[in-house]
Structures are given as C-alpha cells and as structure tokens.
Structure 1
Amino acid sequence: MSDDKKFTLWVLAWPIFIEMFLQFLLGTADTLMVSRISDGAVAVVGISTQLFAAVTILFMTVANGAGVLIAQKLGARRPEDARTVAIMSVNISVVIGAVLSLALYLFARDIAALLQVPAALLPLADTYISIVGGGMTLTAAMAALSTAIRNTGNTRGPMYIAIGMNVIHVVLNYAFIYGAFGFPQWGLSGVAVSTLVSRLLATIVLAFLFVHSFERRIGWKDLLQFDRPLFRETMQIGWPMGVHSASWVFSQLILFSFIAMLGAKELAARTYMNTMESFCFTLGYSVAMALQIQIAHLFGAGRKQEAYRAAYRGMWTGLAVVMTNALLLYVFGSKALSLFTVDTEIVALGVALLGLNLLLQPGKMINMAMGSALTGVGDTRFIMITGVFSLWLLATPFSYFLGIRLEWGLAGIYASMIADEYLRGFLVLRRWKSGKMLRPATASPGHQAVSAQS
C-alpha cells in the first residue's frame, strides 16, 4: 500500500476505532462483571482507573512525543530517525513503568486513603491497586509499543492484538469472579490478576510486531541506541503533552475525590456514566488519533495546505459521529444503566446526567480533533497553556463550588466540565484557523495558500 493510501483518515481510523471500541467493551464487561461483586467494588475500579491514568502520564510523555516524531520523520523520508526514536521511547517508558510499579505495589492503601476512598472500601482498593498498579510496567510497554507501531501507519496490528487481549481478559474475568472452568473464585482480586495476564500476553505480541515495524529489523543490539538530539526533539513535543495530560488527568482525579465526598452512590453512578460515555466518543476519539497521525505525516512531508484542510474534515466527521452516539445514549441510557445496577438511586443519578452529556460531547470532540491537529504539527505548548489555564482556573474550582458548596452534586460538576471543554475547544479551533503553526516553513506556495485560507 502506498504512503498516500496508508495515511488516509479512513484507513488509519477504522482499526483504531475497533481497538478503542474493544477497550470500551473491555471496560463495560469489567464494570458489568464487577457490579456482580458489589457497587463498592465498582467504585474502587472507577477511582483506581483515574489513578492509573494519572501515573501513566510519566511514560506517555515520552511515548506520545515519540509517536508524533515517528510520523513526521517517516513523512520526511527519514526512516532510520523514526526507528531510533521508537526504540528510545520503548526503553525509557519501560524503565519509568517499572519504578511506578514498585511505588503502587508498596503504597497502595496510603494512595487510596489520599484519594478519599471511603474507609469501608479501603481493603478492596488496597488489593486492586497493588495488583494492577504493580503491573504498571506492562502498561508502559504496551503504550510505547502500540504508539510507535500505530504511527508508522500500521493501525491494524494493535487492533488485532487488542481483540485477543479483550477476549482473554473477559474469559478470565468470568472464570475468577464466578469460579468457572475450575478457577478459584477470587472476586476483585481475580479481576486484577486477569488484567495482568491479558496485558502480559499483549505486550509479548506487540514486542514481536514492533521489531518488524521498520525497514530494518530491530535487534537486541539496537535496544542500546540513544540519540541525544532526537531525544531532545522528542521531549520538545512530548513534555507539553505530558503537562497537559497530567493537568487533565489529575483534575479528573480531583473531581473523582469531590464525587467521593458526595457519597459511594454518586461515585458508582459516575463510574457507570464513564463507561456509557465511552460509547459516545470512542469513534470520535479514533478519528482524532488518526487525524494526528495523518497531519504529522503530511506536515513532515511539507504538505501543509493538505494538513490544514484535513483537520476540518476530521473535526466535522467526528462531530457527526459523536452527536449521533450521544443521542442514542440519551434515548436508551436509562435502560442501559439498569444493566449495571438495580439500585434505583444510582440509576436516577445517571439518568439525570444523560441530557448534560448531549452538551458535553460536541465540545469534547472539537477539543480532541483540533488538539490532535495542533499536536500533529508539534504545536503542543499552546495546548498545554490553554489546558492548564482552563482546567485549574475553571473546571476544578467551579466543580467544587457548584457541586459541593452550592450542593448541586453531580450536575454542578458536569456543568463545570462542559464549560471547560467548550472554552478549550474554542481556543484550539481559533489557533488552527490562524495558521500560525504552519508558517515557520518559509513563504512556499503551500504556506501562502494556508495563510490565505486562515
């Protein structure tokens, strides 16, 4: 397949969508199965997921920066540079993941207490965080490997691996929760072990695919490679992405602690809504990820006018899909919530948020699409500045003020999230429309066309 066909939005997006959708199904299956243990177990999984998302920022800073640079270098016909960047990103991510594994294993209960997990749920949280968190090095390896592979234009490989991982995980979940197939009935501990086993197998297969992802096969001696200028270039893109992602994830972690202050039912309701909302933006997020790879490749090849127009196509495509999904969720959401829990209070809390979700998702899609476009051309500092500003001066304080102080509860927290998404979406859209990030390339015909359109 030619590079032009390999890096089209649809060819890149559909395998990412299937991979993301399978992850959504994995999360849904997890939540459904864990809900058979107790609503408290669901709350533990929910807040633990936010914790794990927060700590992964440390290695995703390298992996994400490397992903953008890999696509740019391949677009610029510099495959050896792309290969070196990929190797460095995997090595550094695994080392960071190993350190995080040790910390999460040793201090699981202390961390859970800091997150305001109710005292009755601390034993469950201790077990889950220590086991799943103890395997964070696998998460780091998977993230770095799949990001590198995906940015070579091969989005199908990670998709197939995700299919296998999800099937294994769901089967093991069922076995450990219900004691099926002769397995011990380990409850939430079994869910954690299932997560580790499926991730280990996925990491092994991803590693095999990774060594064959470039023109020259990666050998054991290649793993010692380190190129300081390329690493510096990776971090110039990656560290603002890391700060922005950290701001978002830690703000979400704080929001979860606010929700935990409201009570265990509110925490469970938000966890269920997180699972259901994933249905809304899974395809939109896939479009955004594909758009980032496409634009990075076009930008690296010097095709800036095409990159400029591609961002808008991706945004409108994502908006159409996300709004369709949000409407479906609004219509069928109450029935879906009833699948997760029989607690009428939790169902009522979730139903009350379905209308607000209709407002939330378009703003989130604009953010994802245009933010991905800016990331693809390396304009990550602007995203970092606007994200830090909006998340910490708007979303987080207003969530506390509306949700806790004014006692609006989950509705107040959602209102703050909506305001944050639209503010950031407006700022990144305005930035892309200005064309500023495409101008340093000198006054080429492509540059002049972009300037005229902006």
Structure 2
Amino acid sequence: MNPKFSLWALSWPIFLELFLQTLLGTVDTIMVSHISDGAVAVVGFSNQLFNALNTLFMTIATGAGILVAQRIGMKREEEARTIAIMAVTACASISAAISLTLYFFSAPIAGMLNVSNELLPLWNVYVSNIGAGMVLTGLIAVLGTVIRNTGNTKGPMFIGIGMNVVHIVLNYGFIYGAFGMPAWGLFGVTVSGNLSKLFAAVLLLYMFVFAFERTVRLRDFGIFKLKLFQQILKIGWPLGVNMSCWVFSQLAIYAFLADLGDKELAARTYMNTLESFCFMLGGAIAAAAQIQIAHLFGAGKIRDAYAAAYRALWVGLAFVAVSSILLYLFGRPALGLFTKDGEIVAMGVSLLALNLLLQPGKMLNMALGNALNAVGDTRFTMLASLGSMSIIATGCSYWLGLELGWGLIGIYCCMIADEYVRGAMSFFRWRGKKYLNKGAAQPVPARLEAAVPL
C-alpha cells in the first residue's frame, strides 16, 4: 500500500486536527458562557440547525471524496480531479443560497423551532450573522474533504488548527474588548467565526489548486461532465439522507430539551462538548478507515479492505473505552469549568455513567458504517439510519423524555439504543461482504460503477 494511505498516516493528522479543534471549541464555549448560559444554549441549539443545513452540500462533498479516493486507487487521477472540481463548484453554490436564507429569515426559523422569547434576541444575532458565513463553511467542508481523500490529511490539519487559533484570539478580543477591540459579546463571536473561516477557506483553496498532478485553473471550475456528476449523486444522496437523519434527530432532541427548559438545553450543550473529547480519536480512526478502505477497494485489494474495517474498529474501541472512563472520573470538575450553576452541573454529572455505554456504540456504528460507505453501500446505511433514528433516536426520545417524564436521562437512553442498533446492522451487513464480493468479481475499471447503488 502507498504509505500515505496507511491507517496511522491518515488518522493521526485527522485526530490532531479534531483534538485541537475540540480543545479550542471548549475554550470558545467557556468564553461564550461568560456572556450567559442563555448564549451557550443558543450556540448549542443553532449549531444543530447549521449541521442540518450542512448536509445539503456535504452530500456532494462526501460522495465526491469517496469517489476521489477510489479513482486514485484505480490510477485514474484525471477523473478524480474532474470530480473534485465539480464538487467544489456545486457546494459553493448550495452554501451561498443557505447563507442568504439564514441571514434574512433567522426570526421565522426560530419560531418553527420553538425558541423561547428569552433566547430570541440572542438567536437572531447569532444565526443571522454566522448563517451569512455558511458559504465559507461549505467551501471549507468540500475542499478539506477532497484534499484528505487524495491522501493528504496533514494540510487540512494545519489549516484547521490555524483557523481555530485565529478564532479563539479574535473571540477573546471581541468578547472582552481586549487588544483595543470593541466588546461586542455574542456578535463578536460571529465576527471572529466568519473571519477565521475566511482565513481557512483561502488557504484550502490554494492547496486544492495543487492537489492533483495537473494544476487546477480558474477556467476549470466551469467543467461539468454529466456522467461523473451522476455518479457523485448516486453515491452521495444516500449519504446526504444518512447525515440528514442524524442532524435532524439531534435538532429534534434539542427542540425537546428546549421544551424541558433552558438549563436542560445548556447541560446537553456542555456534555456534548465533553463527549467530543471521548470520541475524537475514535472518530479520526473511523474517518481514516473510510479513506483507506475506499482506496484499497478501488485498487482491487478486497481482502485487505475487509480486514481494515475490523482493525479500525478494535483500535478505536480501545481508545474510546479509555477516554470514556477518564471523563467519568473527571467529569464533575470539567463541567465546573463551564458553569457555576449547581443544577446544570448535576444534570451533566447524571449523564456521565450513560456516556460509558454511548461511546462504544458510536465507535461500532461509525467504523463499520464508514466501511460500507467506502465501498459504495451507501443505500444500506441510509435505510438503517432512517429506521433507527426516526423511531428510536427521535420518536422514543419524545416518548420517554417528554411523555413519560424521564427528561434528559430518557433522551440519553434512546441515543444509546440508536447507536447500538445501527452498529449491529452495519456489522452484519459488512460481515456478509455483499459489495466487496461484487467488487472482487469486477475488473478494476468497472468496479466503481458496480459499487454505486442504482
């Protein structure tokens, strides 16, 4: 195997990027908490909305990324280059439309999501301004995804680190009025966020220009090949539905928490930040495994691709178990960094034991789900997500959390059940080797088309 496609070479830059991003995101949350717990609740809730809208362009970005890795494995780099260029153009157009919608319609969206009157002024400030920068978010997502799938995970890592450092420094200035900057509070958070994204988007675009053997020119962004774009959509739209299921279930859960109260909403936001530390290494391994398996599958190394999924799963489970135990032991003082509200801290502490069950389920689901996606079996993961997330993650959360009065504990139990159900389905699907066997029976040039669900 090309050394740059080994699991370690792919995963450690992704992990370092996620770690520093999460660490700086935690500092960001602490800074926002100094404004108010209400500001934290708004940031946490609105981020679920942004995640939901991200799926509109991540459908194309993720599908294109898998195809780029497969085509490079097939030694068809020119087609990989064309796929990447079309993906960047499409994602930029979609995210620009989202930016305009959020900027002009933040208040009506708040009404649809049951945002309380107390939080509405903060919501309008944050959503309209961060929403205006969604075009930058779209560019960062597609450029970073494509570049990583060429085997270069270090470049996006360094840019991601730089983006978050710039964001934290500007946050400090605009929230507290440091360095001679105006003390703008939550509005300052939106300004620093958009400026740091602009910094990252420009650097990623420069890196993308030289990501392939043939330099990408400005006129190349007018390229459109229908057959290749159809393949992006065929492999991408189930991924988009899959991602949509997750983010909309999370958005629904945050809406349920908003009904329970602002403190429950803040507690979930703080716990979500801490849980990110638990899973970041597991998530990096799962993301790296998807790139590696797609490359191996494209190169015709079917047995290696099959074994790579299990190797990633076991390595990821070991790291996730250790990090979950550490959070369980040190979760209370960690929550105290975010808020001094004893009720919010108590809610968060009550979830620490449940997190020990949640994280291994997430690793099982992501490692094998990503493996299925890497070989083109995206329709199965879509159907699994549609069924489990709509019935268990969302429906049962409403039933247990609101109707039966279990509150935050009931919602967490449903989240755990959803991860294990989807993980078990992915395990048996991967063990059946349906798409791997189909790929083994095809000559290399036809393998990609055979793997794309029709």
Tell whether the 8 Å contact from 1:374 to 1:432 is kept in structure 2 after alignment: yes
User: Which residue of 1 is the match for residue 111 of structure 2?
Assistant: 113
Q: Matches of 2:219 and 2:343 in 1, distance apart?
A: 59
Count of residue correspondences: 445
Change (3 A) 1:184 1:152: same
Does the 8 Å contact 1:394/1:416 carry over to 2? yes
Cα distance in 2, alignment partners of residues 170 and 67 from structure 1:
29
Tell me what 1:265 maps to. Answer: 263
1:67-86 equivalences under 5 Å are: 67-86=65-84
* Separation (CA, whole Å) in 1 of partners of 2:288 and 2:227: 27
Distance 1:259 1:370, change over 3 A: same
CA distance in 2, matches of 1:97, 1:425: 31
Paired with 2:2 and 2:371, the residues of 1 have a C-alpha distance of 18
SS in 1 for 2:300: coil
Q: Deviations over 1:223-274 (max 9, x none)?
A: 1111111111111110000001001100110000000100000000000000
Match of 2:421 in 1: 423
Structure 2 alignment gaps of length 5 or more = 448-454
Q: Alignment partner for residue 186 of structure 2, among 188, 191, 207?
A: 188
What is the CA deviation profile of residues 354-384 of structure 1, one whole-angstrom value per residue up to 9, with x for unaligned ones?
A: 0000011101100010011001101000000
Query: Please, which of 158, 161, 183 is the counterpart of residue 159 of structure 2?
Result: 161
Q: How do residues 140-151 of structure 1 correspond to structure 2 at under 5 angstroms?
A: 140-151=138-149
Normalised by the size of structure 1, how large is the TM-score?
Answer: 0.97
What does residue 320 of structure 1 align with? Answer: 318
Equivalences for residues 1-16 of structure 1 within 5 A: 4-16=2-14
- 1:343 and 1:287 mapped to 2: Cα distance? 36
**Deviation, structure 1 residue 445:** 12
Paired residue for 2:388? 390
Runs of 4+ off more than 4 Å: 442-447
Q: How does 1:37-436 map to 2 (within 5 A)?
A: 37-436=35-434
Cα separation, 1, equivalents of 2:47 and 2:374: 27
- For 2:23 and 2:199, the matched residues in 1 are separated by 19
Aligned to 1:450: none
Q: CA deviation at 1:351?
A: 0.1
Quickly say closer, same or farther: Cα 1:356–1:442, change in 2 above 3 A: closer
The letter of the residue matching 1:281 is F
> Which amino acid in the other structure matches residue 112 of structure 2?
L
Q: Distance in 1 between matches of 2:441 and 2:215?
A: 39
How far apart, CA to CA, are the structure 1 residues paired with 2:296 and 2:195? 38
SS of residue paired to 1:340: coil
Q: Which stretch of the first structure deviates more once superposed, 7-16 or 20-29?
A: 20-29
Contact 1:75–1:301 (Cα < 8 Å) also in 2 = yes
The one-letter amino acid paired with 1:200 is: L
TM-score for the superposition, normalised by structure 2: 0.97
Which blocks of at least 5 consecutive residues in structure 1 are unaligned?
448-454
- C-alpha distance 444-193 of structure 1, shift in aligned 2 (>3 A): closer
Distance in 2, matches of 1:108 and 1:29, equals: 26
- CA 1:153 to 1:442, structure 2 compared with 1: closer, same or farther past 3 Å? closer
CA RMSD in angstroms comes to 1.3
Judged with a 3 Å threshold, the aligned counterparts in structure 2 of structure 1 residues 64 and 443 are, in CA distance, closer, same or farther, namely closer
Q: Could you tell me how far 1:441 is from its partner in structure 2?
A: 3.0
Percent of pairs with identical residues: 58
Q: Give, in angstroms, the shift of residue 444 of structure 1.
A: 8.2
Contact 1:109–1:123 (CA<8 Å) still a contact in 2? Answer: no
**For residues 382 and 179 of structure 1, do their structure 2 counterparts lie closer, same or farther at Cα, with a shift above 3 Å needed?**
same
* Contact residue 44 and residue 121 of structure 1 kept, 8 A: yes
Tell me if structure 2 keeps the 8 A contact 1:7–1:153: yes
Looking at structure 1, the residues matched to 56 and 172 of structure 2 have their Cα atoms a distance apart, in angstroms, of 32
Q: Is the contact between residue 320 and residue 360 of structure 2 (CA under 8 Å) also seen in structure 1?
A: yes
**Cα deviation digits, residues 414-436 of structure 1 (max 9, x gap):** 00111110000000011001111
